[in-house]
Amino acid sequence: MALASHINDIHAQSIRVATEGARNMFRMVVLTRSWNASHGGVYVPVTPQTQPNPFLDIARRDVSTTDGQALTLVNPAYMTRLIAEKAESDSGAIFRLTSLRPIRPQNAADDWETTALLSFESGNTETIAVTQSPPAEQLRYMAPLLVQEACIPCHAKQGYKVGDVRGGISVSQRYAPIAAATHAGVQQSQLIYGAVFVLVAAMGWLLLELLRRRWLELGGKIYELQHTREELIHSEKMASLGRMVAGFAHEINTPIGVAVGAVSHNEGTLDRISTMLSQEEVSEDSLRGELADLRQSSALAMANLRRAANLVQSFKRTSIDQTSEHARAFEMKELINDVLFALQGVLKRLPITIDVDCPDAIRLNGVPGLIEQLLTNLVMNAVQHAFCDGQRAGNITIRVRREGANVHLEFADDGVGMDADQIVRIFEPFYTTRRGKGGSGLGLYICYGIVTDRLGGSIECHRQAQSGCRFDVRFPAERMDPQGEAIP
Ligand code: HEC
């Protein structure tokens, strides 16, 4: 985590700063020592604190000035010790001169210093550590003192050459102040991190809340749109039902009219027969003639009533299908004929022919009303657009084939056709080239919805090489319901 690594950084940084302090102190001490060594030691007045050094075995160690002031020679090690005593009482930093082979026994290295000195002999140049040595945790620093030319006069007798490690100076600092500084840094960072976290969380929450509101708003809009769409689809359905009723009314008019005519003709014939029978003399020939007329005319009535009955039957099928969502088994060919029949009211007066190429054997299982509406919409779309409301003559071909488990319905016209732009947008809702002329822009959108949503199939629109366009519809012959069982 970022905070943890940041705290680690603060620790490392505090130790680096403290080490740099110790390093500087070491450099200062080395500097004063080499100044001292360059003079072969320095004479100072003898005081109770600065007594002659018993370890300094050298001629003229103690001298006196002409006016009788006693002076003693202070060698670098002794001076270091004297300064160290002052430094300790002033700042709490301790430094110490040590060696693995001390002339003065008190200069012997402790365990930590011994390890460090040994490492210097094998080339190491400094050692840093935080130690638990009592009375408190300490940061310790140590670097080597190498024998220089100036050291030789006093140290050659021990066998040292220039460049040897004579010993080292170790600097110790109490770790507590460093830890306190680190702690303050850590607390500050925790505070800053905490504040940033709270800020980010608050902003995140705000954003999410805004998103949520927008989402709810959109949800409402989508619901509204869906509702409108359903209403439009419903009214479109009602309109097509209306067209069908009009077509039917028109169609049934003729046979019923003929039947009524025939039956009323028969009434006249019956009247004549009964008049004949009330007369004394009846000619058998004329009676037979009337009976033959009666039979012929009632056959005409019968044929037309049958036709009317067939129409009613077909109307019943299509209208029930169009209003009900019940799935059943049905014949594709019969369904196409019913639809075309229902559309006859519209089609009959127009110079448009429709060829159907559908084998008898294609049986489907599903909701026939859906396919009826699909076909109705495709036909109406072709009439309105491809044939300019019937101002243009032409032909529609409906071809149906079984393709494995699927049905392929090809619906082609040889009308005006469409350009590429129109084809791309053709299935969009409310897309119409006839706005203001009664186009709802929903016909093909509904087709698309029926095929993709309800029939679980696909619909494509293609431009044809010669003229017009072709719809390719493919859907499963047996529509499975979501549980995976065929709809009964
Ligand atoms: C004037 C003589 C003199 C000179 C010059 C001198 N030293 Fe020393 N040094 C001594 C004496 C005497 C001691 C003995 C202990 C004491 O005085 O604390 C000593 C002690 C030391 C010690 C402490 C270990 C011990 O043996 O007790 C070190 C380390 C040391 N000297 C390094 C050096 C180095 C490095 C130089 C050269 C830069 C140097 N000295 C120059 C006289 C000298």
pLDDT digits (tens, 9 = 90+) for 223-248: 888 888 778 777 777 776 776 677 67
For residues 243 and 225, what is the distance between their CA atoms, to the nearest angstrom?
Answer: 27
Choose among 399, 393, 313, 383: nearest CA to 345: 383
Q: Work out the average pLDDT over 248-271.
A: 87
Amino acid at 153: P
Which atom of ligand 1 is nearest to 106's Cα?
Answer: 27
Residue of minimum CA distance from atom 33 in ligand 1: 151
- Pair 147, 163: CB distance under 8 Å: yes
* Ligand 1 centre distance from Cα of residue 115 (Å): 21
* Ligand 1 centre distance from Cα of residue 173 (Å): 24
Residue of minimum CA distance from atom 19 in ligand 1: 77
- Model confidence at 437, in pLDDT bands (50, 70, 90)? low
pLDDT the model gives residue 225: 87
* Ligand 1 centre distance from Cα of residue 75 (Å): 7
* Ligand 1 centre distance from Cα of residue 172 (Å): 21
Phi, psi dihedrals of residue 466, rounded to the nearest 5° = -75, -65
Residue of minimum CA distance from atom 41 in ligand 1: 151
pLDDT over threshold 50, residue 485: no
Residue list, ligand 1 pocket, CB within 6 Å: 33-34, 37, 40-41, 53, 55-56, 75-78, 81, 97, 99, 102-104, 107, 145, 147-148, 150-151, 153-155, 166-167
Q: In this predicted structure, which of 32-41, 264-273, 324-333 has the lowest mean pLDDT?
A: 324-333
pLDDT tens profile 314-368: 777 766 666 667 788 889 999 999 888 888 777 888 899 999 999 988 899 888 8
Q: What is the token pair recorded at 388?
A: 């300019």
Residue of minimum CA distance from atom 6 in ligand 1: 151
Tell whether omega for the bond before 102 is within 30 degrees of 0, i.e. cis: no
Q: What is the token pair recorded at 159?
A: 């066998």
What is the sign of the dihedral through the CA atoms of 308, 314, 318 and 320?
positive
- Model confidence at 52, in pLDDT bands (50, 70, 90)? very high
pLDDT tens profile 377-402: 899 888 888 888 888 899 999 999 99
Q: Exposure string (b/e) for 173-208, b if CB count within 10 Å is 16 or more?
A: bebeebeeebeebbeebeeeeeeeeeeeeeeeeeee
For the chain, give the number of residues.
488
- Model confidence at 42, in pLDDT bands (50, 70, 90)? very high
* Ligand 1 centre distance from Cα of residue 354 (Å): 123
* Ligand 1 centre distance from Cα of residue 76 (Å): 6
Q: In this predicted structure, which of 15-19, 92-96, 156-160, 161-165 has the lowest mean pLDDT?
A: 92-96
Which of 63, 154, 160, 169 gets mutated to test ligand 1 (max ligand atoms within 8 A of its CB)? 154
pLDDT the model gives residue 126: 93
Choose among 146, 28, 39: nearest CA to 93: 28
- Pair 303, 263: CB distance under 8 Å: no
Write the CA distances from 190 to 1, 12, 195, 198, 290, integer angstroms. 12, 17, 8, 12, 118
For residues 138 and 177, what is the distance between their CA atoms, to the nearest angstrom?
Answer: 10
pLDDT the model gives residue 482: 42
Residue of minimum CA distance from atom 31 in ligand 1: 77
Amino acid at 240: S
- Model confidence at 442, in pLDDT bands (50, 70, 90)? low
Contacts of 136 (CB under 8 A, 6+ apart): 174, 175, 176
Q: Work out the average pLDDT over 469-480.
A: 87
- Residue 399 buriedness (CB in 10 A; 0-12 / 13-18 / 19+): middle
For residues 173 and 145, what is the distance between their CA atoms, to the nearest angstrom?
Answer: 20
pLDDT over threshold 90, residue 86: no
Choose among 18, 17, 25: nearest CA to 169: 25
- Model confidence at 307, in pLDDT bands (50, 70, 90)? confident
For residues 225 and 235, what is the distance between their CA atoms, to the nearest angstrom?
Answer: 15
Which atom of ligand 1 is nearest to 57's Cα?
Answer: 12
- Model confidence at 133, in pLDDT bands (50, 70, 90)? low
- Gap between the terminal Cα atoms of the chain: 61
Which atom of ligand 1 is nearest to 105's Cα?
Answer: 27
- Pair 116, 171: CB distance under 8 Å: no
Percent of the chain residues topping a pLDDT of 70: 91
pLDDT the model gives residue 431: 65
pLDDT the model gives residue 488: 41
pLDDT over threshold 50, residue 212: yes
